[in-house]
Structure 1
């Protein structure tokens, strides 16, 4: 009997250990990461944000399967600087990426970098960090972080790139090769190849090939779908326009463009499920800045302001995150976060060590979302452009203007920023004003400066969309 017991244990124990090791190995498997990034979308222009006009079933489903963030901020209210903050995990003002997008014409700019304007090559990107963790990395769509070769995505940590270097282009294939290399579709480095069909669909289709390839190889991947939808030009497919017979003008077109964006998101989510990797994939959806209502008829309601302003409508964006088994489905997170939090969040999820991340401003969001850390991810956030600036400290927000006294708002009671409390809170007002200036003194000088006429234009745009207009 003893002999039989010994034989049984000899066989059973290793099998038991093997099963336990396998389970441990599975739980430690690195998650795939997909970042779905919209361009110039309105805060209110999704079903999960309450829109009754837009048709976004795939994003609405993503919201029900993950966490919706009600106070998510970008690092800047325009495309290029916002991307610079996200991709480096830090406030881009600290390395001089402040003024605006990389300008198109040198006659309109004074620049430290001359024709070589872009994301400084010494800055480490989220793709750089994830490659160190063994990830395959790819970006599809809009780059907008410098057109010179040394700023190219494939030199900034991305293994694959299919997209364009500039900030905007046609959604339809060019019949003739564009003279400006920033507008050309490019595969890899220097291989110009126009897409077929509608660009938003094409970008999703390209990403599916990358996803399938790496899933088959059992290799963790990071796919950054940097859509240019719904940025101008206002291009939409006729069949998408037909879905909105009750709308007219640009509002009709932006609705059709949003439908295409949602369809592209659906393609990606469906592919993850088809491949059986959806339960081991982090999916984030967000936007680069507030909607430019005057350009594409987007809506930021109930927030005041638009793109390029420091009002909530310029800097607060829709934000969703899904991670099965790690995040509770169909929940909301109400404390302020920022898009520069994505780099440390992704890196830690990939198995990275916080001591490896140098000189960033973002934090790993997971402990905050799950309630392990009850504090706010950020007590203070800052924004700046030329003489204009803003800061949020706790629930208070100060906005400094170039042509009038600064104003103070208490956001829980006034997210539309209509009730200036500067006179009622003089001590708080002065303290925040001084803290904002103290922060500015720590920054690198801007790498380029636009003509002052652009600043005047944006102040005028701010006034036009503040307070909230019914036409928005």
Structure 2
């Protein structure tokens, strides 16, 4: 009798053990996912990537518990195209109209094709977009900002959306929740125009004495003044709805935390698009002066704190182990990008792009090689990876992880590099097309990287952008770099290896055939 009881108990314990193990595996196969997108953060801006003048303890902690990539890329050296590629799995230069958008642009993400958030919806996730959008709204430029505006984030896969329409230096300077402007007063209707002035609001050009942050000459940030800062574009009305820059970041944080709290017992995907350290840099009061590097440094400290707040919430809710957190940036760093905010004069030896040449707008490595950290404590072991990965590949990789097949034509350029993202392989991509800024027109300069050889074709674009103080990577002769030995792209090997130049030139031409 006793033997039977013991046998039964052992059987029950064994069954419970394997049942729990099976359940854990099932949970781990379907993690919560938080994708945190910094804005204009450079390869050398974090202490876990070598910064010594700035300390970013929360992101360092995230890196120490996950995979920190040294060869991770966005597709493009500016924001709108990088975000387009992330969400669609398609190189942005394949589609016209994917350059940096004005604040009144129409939606450029297709509503009838698979997107990253739609993939998660298909897998049963609750999805949300909180933060910067900058991918257009509505089906045309002319739109009524005082009613419902769609299509937008909700129509491309997000169940919930709390955004500002474009970016912080462009009007309209308002928040939108799902399809409507938050706190809109119908007696004070909003008008937006990017070609001519609307209403009687003062502009930075006409009334510089009203500015609390002066605009840099020639960069267009001297139109309608909102919160003492000149913006790109003209706006009137919506005075109660207009944001205060110092509160934008914490507002987005609270909305992100609300979504996590409401959905922590389900599986969720949160696309959390931060504003830091994009201009205008106007951090919350508690961060002003804290970095010793001016408002740009302060904004990076605010960014790090924001990530820490999210991590603390995950721990409090008991879901940190099976939540995948991905942190990266939409392009490389820039200092003087529209405002005289002392980002250059108070740099104090900090190197925003590390050892890389170029920066935002550049086809050189600092344009698209960005910080990228992936943490998933249940599954991913800490390591540093040199495998080449691209944000555009998350769509195909999550398709594999979540066992949700997608059509190749829906994400034509996205590659399944899941094993590399999870730190199980160093293989990654073998070929990547990098897109510089718009100095050669809408598409910008294209370069190709294959097996750590990088080729930039000869072109007649400007070699140095005086307005922002950045090398563009353009030259009137071909450029070839061995990134294994020369990550700073200092030694042009084109004349030494003409066969390699011909090989990569031919491959670049083949790979960049438009497939719309």
Matching residue of 1:309: 362
Go from structure 1 to structure 2 and tell me whether the alpha carbon gap of 1:363 and 1:352 turns closer, same or farther (over 3 Å shift): same
> Cα distance, 1:56 vs. partner?
1.2
2-side partners of 1:80 and 1:229: how far apart?
15
Matching residue of 2:433: 382
Tell me if 1:326 matches 2:326: no
> Cα distance, 1:284 vs. partner?
0.6
Matching residue of 2:308: 266
Matching residue of 1:70: 70
Q: Aligned to 1:328, what secondary structure does the other structure show?
A: coil
Go from structure 1 to structure 2 and tell me whether the alpha carbon gap of 1:414 and 1:8 turns closer, same or farther (over 3 Å shift): closer
Equivalent pair of 2:380/2:423 in contact (CA under 8 Å)? no
2-side partners of 1:103 and 1:242: how far apart?
31
2-side partners of 1:324 and 1:207: how far apart?
21
2-side partners of 1:366 and 1:222: how far apart?
17
Aligned residues: 412
Q: Which runs of 5+ in 1 are unaligned?
A: 106-114, 171-179, 445-472
Matching residue of 1:212: 261
Go from structure 1 to structure 2 and tell me whether the alpha carbon gap of 1:204 and 1:133 turns closer, same or farther (over 3 Å shift): same
Matching residue of 2:188: none
Tell me if 1:406 matches 2:501: no
CA-based RMSD: 2.5
Equivalent pair of 2:126/2:268 in contact (CA under 8 Å)? yes
Q: Aligned to 1:28, what secondary structure does the other structure show?
A: helix
Q: Tell me the TM-score normalized by structure 1.
A: 0.81
Q: Which runs of 5+ in 2 are unaligned?
A: 139-148, 184-240, 338-342, 345-350, 436-441, 461-475
- Which protein has the bigger helix share? 1
Matching residue of 2:278: 231
Matching residue of 2:472: none
1-side partners of 2:497 and 2:313: how far apart?
53
Tell me if 1:198 matches 2:197: no
For residue 256 of structure 1, the aligned residue among 298, 304, 328 is 298
2-side partners of 1:39 and 1:341: how far apart?
19
1-side partners of 2:481 and 2:7: how far apart?
70
Go from structure 1 to structure 2 and tell me whether the alpha carbon gap of 1:371 and 1:104 turns closer, same or farther (over 3 Å shift): closer
Equivalent pair of 1:145/1:151 in contact (CA under 8 Å)? no
Cα-to-partner distance string for 1:60-116 (whole Å, 9 max, x where unaligned): 111111111001011111100100111122323334455x112458xxxxxxxxx63
Q: Aligned to 2:302, what secondary structure does the other structure show?
A: helix
Matching residue of 1:20: 18
Go from structure 1 to structure 2 and tell me whether the alpha carbon gap of 1:334 and 1:188 turns closer, same or farther (over 3 Å shift): same
2-side partners of 1:102 and 1:328: how far apart?
39
2-side partners of 1:227 and 1:369: how far apart?
22
Equivalent pair of 2:102/2:166 in contact (CA under 8 Å)? no
Q: Aligned to 2:40, what secondary structure does the other structure show?
A: coil
Q: Aligned to 1:390, what secondary structure does the other structure show?
A: strand
Matching residue of 1:394: 451
> Cα distance, 1:369 vs. partner?
5.1
Q: Tell me the TM-score normalized by structure 2.
A: 0.74
Go from structure 1 to structure 2 and tell me whether the alpha carbon gap of 1:400 and 1:293 turns closer, same or farther (over 3 Å shift): farther
